[in-house]
């Protein structure tokens, strides 16, 4: 099937196209340079055309999600919709059901989403949920930062073993890259403790976050993985944590990048939660300036923000101890799941309210980071869904970034409290994002950061993943019309995925099954064999499942998109 | 117990099969297969082994329909499936119940059928750990996988649960006896406490037995929490336990390195039901201020947790999900099976991989006897006695592969080791067939209506 | 003033759902609209006229001018008055589940018994039940720590288990007896029980007040003796008599109040 999107205003940052009126053509699921006269014409005259959205960090599929849904029926009840001819019924506000997740991203023009934290022992569960989410390509990142094997080898400096382990485990779990959450902290939580800063050794294993970060970063480059290490640093959410963040980014700086498909060697996730100065919630101030400064000066770093949206939401991360602290702070019901030999997680509902000083402060810190980091190729738009807010708020965040007036209005109207400008420099920042920068932080940058070679751009040969928004960039002034910006980005005029029209005028018109993106490392077979021999005795003695039953069987990923890399190349 | 010599006459061993009985989902079973039958099972407990070995005992082999005289007559698959589809399509308040002993793959078709006709989907949690889930919804859910307990725990508490009878390998393979990474002396590195009005078999081999009064669970846990907060207990006895013992217990629970609480129907089914667990969960959260504690409900079937997980990720609610208005609703007391049966609202009932005839309260079974019941199962049982259409399925984990979720949420893909009897069908196939046939009936109805 | 009278002529075994027939939605309906209405029953809809004779008199500009009279045994009609904001509903018989749930205003009178979940998540208005009710009267939606937050429930008969669970405001008056765990998880609001209470009122309560004039069967350790009070004043209301006051539930660091009538509960002195 051939299509031509006619006369749209195209934003394709990877190809340096920033608001050019041009046609976009696709055939049989791929972008092409030409189509025949038989091509179906879609009139998108003067409408914004971009690659489909790519979310580099969200929690959408896996065990934590189910615990969240199970223990928050009051959240499930909030988002219930009736089934239609095309869609099944939806549920959930901050934790949507799997069908709802697919539909809601699709309506916003998104095509690819990362599931940011997959525990290897329960990877099959993540893949089951991916199968239940329609209309998206999903990239799971397995967790390694508190894995007993990794901790031991990191202590011993055995980087090659770690590399072989990662190479094996990506195949076993069908994962894309290396996710690190509160390195050493979640293992300390196995005893009810935590670590502070990157040089605090974890009990028994006696290894520090710094050592784990360096070991995994080196392993990542030895394998030449398409993505860099993806890091949720220690000390999340604590006033005075920005030095830990900067140290985390700095401690791997010397490690040489061995991949040509990306620019960074470390991706910092939900940076907002890691950018606080001060010493307590009484004297807390923004540390966004320091963090942004470091990122501006260091091209080996990329980040996503984790912007607070001022909603009642649910926090869920693999940072078990942080979640317990949060529960002690707000008294709301706490869930926890520790996973043998591997990792842990915690869940607590949270209400970010514009009436609360702390929430207002956090809201401002996120925006500060967006506005102070100069290069949009180093920044991605996320809310760490659902932690800082549900992903359906991305259009609202876009409207804030594009309108200094709106931000000021919120501060003037008491929609947020005074801490938003008294404890941060947000009140002094009048930078406004333009559509090109928005396209960068929501499409082009995430694609490059993940090393995707088939999406994020409207380059011939790439997937025909395209979004069209009902906005005329020549006539609309985003700084004056935030509501219109939010509405348009929330209801795509077209969402096209692999050349199929899935959404028209904000309504789902077609359902397609999701696909799973994972990385298959070749050329490491000998090392993998050797490392498995080392792993097996421990596995057999201390896990509670048999190794044969541990892996993710092929039928759990019936639509895989495998990226093959040659180790060491 | 008579001595039985080891089985030596077999053709092959299928290793690492998963047990299809309780929520331990032991995945280290070796099936000894001869002539297409399992003649021996290694590593399973008596419950699991007997289920696998007795697979042909009172086996349902042929579809049946109950005739006007009330007798079950054998029919072919087409007839039986058509009859079942007709009943489902015509129902105003259908319930699809069970699911806990079949695979996730089967449930995927079941939910589509439920959404299509506007049924209630429910599973054994509604008569079992439903109160646990309700408590979790109010109080939280601090859990850990079984291996965490094996490797770290130095205190195990069983409350209202008797694993020596209900989950025989729970203590042997997971919680108490194994040598864990940090507990290399196994049993000797751990203290085991049973809290149970009964002096059960588990109590007999525990270090401490706390035999509080029947129905006294809520008051007892509240007293422990009060003691944890530093209160001098006023009453001399709380729920039958002397106050000194309560204070000592609270103190010892505070001073372990890693405690694990496992609980069962003793909490879910006595007076305060979900509030017993609510209180126990909150007690555990209190304890986490001092040291590390986790809990897990002792799920009784190998896929009861699986159904709750599946329903939660598809529809946001764990069980008792009502689609009658075109969207999902969850309201305990309104959308649960037992209430719908005792209120005589349910008019067609499909049971798959469960035995309500054996497990339901009398008032509910009475209603089942009055309405059409479709049974998808592998064995004849009390439910067959009240079924009107019987569809013989296959044995997940032995004859058919499938995904299941252990009590702690770990997913396990159960293997197929032997072929099913020729006249039986896979559960997944049966439900998919029903779905397709009901779709056809609905389409025909719509076409007729629009004329 | 518009008066709508539904007289039961056939009781359905499968419960009807009346969430669409509240004053807010029907104030501008005439009789013909009612006669065309299809009421949800299980997974179908059937004509309202299958079950009721319908009379409509007068007119209304808004829900506050509506009076609905439901005559007969409504024990299989769920969601009566659910989410209503104004107007009056009188049930001359029993009412099924969720009567008055999520009410914001107006008044409902049930001249019979009400099933469970009466007044669930109420925000305002008044719900009066002449008979008994079952579990979870005036409670929250499961999982939500914020429950009934306003309005008044008056129960002339007995209350079942978990009355006022997660109460976050409003008042509940029970003239009869009450079963276990009244006021469990409550954090605001007032519960008064004139009859006897079986066990454990105020379990896990964070705040709010419970006053019991009858005999209490079993008290929780989490409720700590505070003082003896004479003629207490609670939330601006005056009570006469001698009461034993407890605070708690200390298990949740609670600061709620439980007042036990001293005369009836001498053994606690």
Per residue in A111-163, pLDDT tens? 999 999 999 999 999 999 999 999 999 999 999 999 999 999 999 999 999 99
Across the interface, whether the CB atoms of A128 and B411 are under 8 A apart is answered: yes
Residues of chain A found within 8 Å of residue B314, distances taken between Cβ atoms: 97-99, 132
Q: Which two tokens stand for residue B293?
A: 């504690």
Q: How confident is the model at residue B57 (pLDDT cuts 50, 70, 90)?
A: confident
Residue A231: the pLDDT is: 98
Residue B279: the pLDDT is: 92
Across the interface, whether the CB atoms of B104 and A128 are under 8 A apart is answered: yes
Residue of C nearest to B235 (CA): C221
Residue A53 in this model has a pLDDT that exceeds 90: yes
Per residue in C151-187, pLDDT tens? 999 999 999 999 999 999 999 999 999 999 999 999 9
Q: How confident is the model at residue C269 (pLDDT cuts 50, 70, 90)?
A: confident
Residue B151: which of A67, A73, A340 has the nearest Cβ?
A340
User: CB atoms < 10 A from the CB of A1, how many?
Assistant: 14
Q: How confident is the model at residue A569 (pLDDT cuts 50, 70, 90)?
A: low
**Residues of A (309-348) whose Cβ lies below 8 Å from C:** 332-333
Residues spanned by the domain of C82: 2-217
Across the interface, whether the CB atoms of B226 and C221 are under 8 A apart is answered: yes
CB contact at 8 A, B99 and B110: yes
Closest-CA distance of chain C to residue B235, Å:
8
Identify the CA nearest to A545 among candidates B27, C87, C76, B193.
B27
B405 interface with A at CB cutoff 8 Å? yes
Does a structural domain hold residue C264? no
A72 interface with C at CB cutoff 8 Å? yes
Closest-CA distance of chain B to residue C142, Å:
7
Identify the CA nearest to B21 among candidates B195, B165, B176, B200.
B165
Residue of B nearest to C46 (CA): B92
Q: How many domains, in total, are found in chain C? A: 1
| φ/ψ (deg, to 5) at A87 | -105, 150
CA geometry: angle C53, C57, C61, nearest 5 deg? 125
Per residue in B195-215, pLDDT tens? 999 999 999 999 999 999 999
Closest-CA distance of chain C to residue A333, Å:
9
Across the interface, whether the CB atoms of C204 and B345 are under 8 A apart is answered: no
Q: Where are the domains of chain A?
A: 142-428
Residues of chain A found within 8 Å of residue C143, distances taken between Cβ atoms: 71-75
Mean pLDDT confidence for C7-27? 97
Q: How confident is the model at residue B54 (pLDDT cuts 50, 70, 90)?
A: confident
Interior/surface letters A373-410, b for 16+ CB within 10 angstroms, e for the rest: beebbbbbbbbbbbbbbbbbbbbbbbbbbbbbebbeeb
CA distances from A453 to A139, A227, A450, A565 (A): 14, 12, 9, 12
CA geometry: angle A318, A321, A325, nearest 5 deg? 125
State the best of B115, B135, B145, B172 to mutate against chain A, taking most chain A CBs within 10 Å.
Answer: B145
CB contact at 8 A, C60 and C66: yes
Per residue in A386-433, pLDDT tens? 999 999 999 999 999 999 999 999 999 999 999 999 999 999 999 999
Bridge-partner residues for C228, per DSSP?
A: C244
Per residue in B146-203, pLDDT tens? 999 999 999 999 999 999 999 999 999 999 999 999 999 999 999 999 999 999 999 9
Share of residues in chain A with pLDDT > 70 (%): 100
Distance CA A174, CA A192 (A): 31
Identify the CA nearest to C169 among candidates C208, C126, C129, C128.
C208
Residue of A nearest to B183 (CA): A542
Does a structural domain hold residue C247? no
Residue B85: the pLDDT is: 98
Residue B1: the pLDDT is: 64
Residue B132: the pLDDT is: 95
**Residues of B (160-189) whose Cβ lies below 8 Å from A:** 173-174, 179-182
Q: ipTM surpassing 0.95, yes or no?
A: yes
Per residue in B96-129, pLDDT tens? 999 999 999 999 999 999 999 999 999 999 999 9
User: CB atoms < 10 A from the CB of A63, how many?
Assistant: 27
Q: Average model confidence (pLDDT) for chain C?
A: 96
Across the interface, whether the CB atoms of B226 and C251 are under 8 A apart is answered: yes
CB contact at 8 A, B282 and C204: yes
Residue B56: the pLDDT is: 84
Closest-CA distance of chain A to residue C121, Å:
12
Does a structural domain hold residue C59? yes
Per residue in A306-341, pLDDT tens? 999 999 999 999 999 999 999 999 999 999 999 999
SS3 content of chain B, % helix, strand, coil (to 5): 40, 20, 40
Per residue in B218-258, pLDDT tens? 999 999 999 998 888 888 999 999 999 999 999 999 999 99
Residue A24 in this model has a pLDDT that exceeds 60: yes
Residue B288: which of A190, A192, A556 has the nearest Cβ?
A192
C98 contacts: CB under 8 Å, gap ≥ 6: B334, C78, C79, C80, C82, C115, C117, C118, C120
């Amino acid at each position: 099937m051939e299509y031509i999107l006619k006369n749209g205003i195209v934003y394709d940052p990877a190809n340096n196209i920033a608001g050019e009126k041009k046609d976009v053509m696709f055939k049989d699921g791929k972008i092409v340079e030409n189509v025949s006269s038989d091509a179906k014409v879609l009139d998108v005259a003067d409408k914004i055309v971009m690659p489909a959205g790519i979310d580099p960090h969200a929690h959408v599929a896996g065990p934590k999600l189910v615990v969240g849904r199970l223990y928050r029926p009051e959240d499930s009840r909030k988002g219930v919709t009736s089934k239609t001819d095309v869609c099944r019924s939806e549920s959930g506000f901050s934790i949507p059901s799997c069908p709802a997740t697919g539909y809601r991203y699709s309506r916003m023009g998104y095509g690819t989403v990362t599931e940011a934290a997959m525990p290897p022992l329960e990877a099959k569960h993540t893949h089951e949920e991916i199968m239940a989410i329609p209309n998206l390509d999903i990239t799971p990142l397995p967790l390694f930062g508190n894995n007993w094997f990794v901790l031991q080898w990191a202590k011993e400096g055995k980087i090659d073993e770690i590399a072989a382990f990662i190479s094996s485990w990506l195949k076993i779990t069908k994962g894309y890259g290396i996710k690190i959450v509160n390195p050493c902290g979640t293992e300390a939580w196995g005893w009810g403790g935590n670590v502070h800063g990157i040089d605090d050794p974890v009990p028994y294993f006696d290894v520090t976050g710094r050592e784990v970060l360096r070991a995994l970063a080196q392993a990542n480059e030895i394998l030449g993985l398409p993505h860099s290490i993806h890091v949720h640093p220690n000390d999340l959410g604590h006033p005075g944590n920005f030095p830990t963040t900067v140290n985390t980014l700095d401690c791997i700086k010397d490690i040489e990048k061995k991949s040509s498909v990306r620019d960074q060697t470390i991706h910092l996730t939900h940076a907002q939660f890691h950018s606080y100065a001060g010493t307590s919630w009484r004297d807390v101030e923004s540390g966004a300036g320091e963090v942004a400064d470091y990122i501006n000066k260091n091209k080996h770093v990329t980040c996503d923000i984790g912007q607070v949206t001022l909603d009642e939401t649910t926090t869920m991360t693999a940072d078990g101890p942080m979640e317990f602290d949060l529960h002690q702070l707000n008294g709301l019901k706490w869930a926890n799941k520790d996973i043998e030999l591997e990792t842990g997680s915690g869940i607590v509902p949270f209400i970010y309210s514009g009436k609360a000083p702390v929430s207002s402060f956090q809201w401002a810190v996120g925006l500060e980071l967006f506005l102070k980091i100069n290069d949009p190729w180093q920044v991605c738009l996320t809310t760490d869904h659902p932690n800082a807010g549900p992903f359906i708020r991305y259009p609202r965040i876009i409207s804030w970034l594009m309108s200094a007036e709106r931000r000021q209005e919120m501060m003037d109207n008491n929609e947020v409290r005074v801490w938003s400008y008294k404890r941060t420099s947000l009140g002094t920042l009048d930078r406004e994002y333009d559509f090109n920068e928005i396209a960068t932080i929501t499409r082009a940058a995430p694609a490059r950061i993940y090393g995707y070679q088939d999406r994020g751009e409207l380059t011939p040969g790439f997937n025909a993943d395209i979004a069209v928004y009902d906005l005329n960039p020549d006539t609309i002034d985003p700084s004056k019309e935030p509501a219109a910006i939010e509405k348009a980005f929330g209801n795509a005029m077209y969402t096209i995925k692999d050349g199929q029209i899935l959404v028209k005028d904000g309504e789902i018109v077609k359902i397609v099954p999701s696909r799973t993106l994972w990385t298959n490392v070749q050329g490491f077979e000998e090392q993998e064999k050797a490392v498995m021999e080392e792993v097996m005795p421990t596995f057999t003695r201390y896990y509670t499942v048999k190794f044969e039953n541990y892996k993710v069987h092929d039928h759990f990923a019936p639509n895989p998109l495998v990226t093959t890399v040659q180790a060491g190349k | 117990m008579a001595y039985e010599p080891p089985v030596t006459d077999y053709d092959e061993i299928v290793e690492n099969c998963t047990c299809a009985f309780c929520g331990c989902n032991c995945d280290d079973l070796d099936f000894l297969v001869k002539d297409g039958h399992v003649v021996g099972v290694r590593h399973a407990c008596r419950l699991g082994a007997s289920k696998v070995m007795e697979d042909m005992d009172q086996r349902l082999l042929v579809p049946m329909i109950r005739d006007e005289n009330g007798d079950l007559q054998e029919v072919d698959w087409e007839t039986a499936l058509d009859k079942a589809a007709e009943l489902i399509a015509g129902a105003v308040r259908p319930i699809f119940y069970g699911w806990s002993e079949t695979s996730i793959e089967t449930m995927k078709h079941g939910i589509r059928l439920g959404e299509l006709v506007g049924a209630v989907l429910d599973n054994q949690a509604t008569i079992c750990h439903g109160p646990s889930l309700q408590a979790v919804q109010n109080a939280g859910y601090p859990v850990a996988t079984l291996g965490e307990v094996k490797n770290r725990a130095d205190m195990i508490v069983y409350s209202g649960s008797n694993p020596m009878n209900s989950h025989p390998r729970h203590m042997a393979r997971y919680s108490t006896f194994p040598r864990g990474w940090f507990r290399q002396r196994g049993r000797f590195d751990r203290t085991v406490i049973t809290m149970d009005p009964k002096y059960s078999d588990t109590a007999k081999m525990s270090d401490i037995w706390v035999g509080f009064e029947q129905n006294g669970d809520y008051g007892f846990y509240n007293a422990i929490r009060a003691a944890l907060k530093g209160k001098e207990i006023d009453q001399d006895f709380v729920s039958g336990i002397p106050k000194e013992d309560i204070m000592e217990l609270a103190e010892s629970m505070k001073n372990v390195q890693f405690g694990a609480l496992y609980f069962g129907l003793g909490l879910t089914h006595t007076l305060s039901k979900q509030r017993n667990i609510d209180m126990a969960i909150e007690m555990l959260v209190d304890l986490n201020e001092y040291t590390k504690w986790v809990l897990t409900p002792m799920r009784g079937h190998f896929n009861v947790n699986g159904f709750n997980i599946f329903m939660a990720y598809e529809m946001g609610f764990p069980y008792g999900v009502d689609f009658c208005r075109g969207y999902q609703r969850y309201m305990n007391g309104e959308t649960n099976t037992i209430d719908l049966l005792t209120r005589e609202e349910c008019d067609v009932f499909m049971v798959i991989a469960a035995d309500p005839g054996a497990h339901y309260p009398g008032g509910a079974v009475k209603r089942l006897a009055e309405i059409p019941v479709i049974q998808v199962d592998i064995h004849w049982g009390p439910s067959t006695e009240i079924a009107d259409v019987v569809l013989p399925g296959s044995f997940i984990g032995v004859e058919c592969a499938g995904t299941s979720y252990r009590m702690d949420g770990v997913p396990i893909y159960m293997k197929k080791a032997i072929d099913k009897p020729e006249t039986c069908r896979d559960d997944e196939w049966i439900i998919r067939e029903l779905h397709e046939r009901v779709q056809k009936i609905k389409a025909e109805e719509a076409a007729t209506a629009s004329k | 003033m518009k008066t709508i009278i539904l007289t039961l002529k056939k009781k359905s075994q499968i419960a009807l759902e009346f969430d669409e027939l509240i004053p807010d939605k029907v104030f501008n309906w005439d009789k013909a609209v009612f006669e065309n209405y299809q009421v949800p029953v299980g997974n179908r809809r059937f004509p309202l006229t299958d079950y009721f004779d319908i009379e409509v008199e007068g007119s209304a500009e808004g829900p506050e001018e509506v009076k609905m009279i439901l005559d007969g045994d409504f024990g299989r009609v769920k969601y009566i008055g659910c989410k209503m904001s104004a107007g009056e509903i009188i049930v001359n018989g029993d009412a099924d589940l969720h009567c008055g749930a999520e009410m914001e205003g107006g008044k409902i009178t049930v001249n019979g018994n009400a099933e469970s979940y009466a007044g669930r998540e109420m925000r305002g208005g008044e719900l009066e039940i002449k008979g008994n009710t079952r579990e979870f009267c005036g409670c929250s939606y499961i999982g939500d720590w914020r429950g009934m937050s306003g309005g008044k429930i008056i129960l002339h008969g007995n209350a079942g288990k978990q009355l006022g669970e997660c109460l976050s405001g409003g008042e509940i008056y029970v003239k009869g007896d009450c079963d276990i765990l009244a006021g469990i998880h409550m954090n605001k609001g007032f519960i008064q029980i004139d009859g006897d209470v079986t066990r454990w009122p105020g379990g896990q309560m964070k705040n709010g007040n419970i006053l019991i004039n009858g005999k209490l069967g079993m008290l929780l350790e989490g409720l700590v003796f505070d003082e003896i009070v004479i003629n207490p004043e609670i939330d601006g209301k005056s009570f006469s008599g001698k009461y034993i006051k407890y605070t708690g539930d200390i298990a949740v660091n609670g600061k709620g109040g439980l007042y036990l009538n001293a005369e009836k509960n001498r053994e606690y002195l």
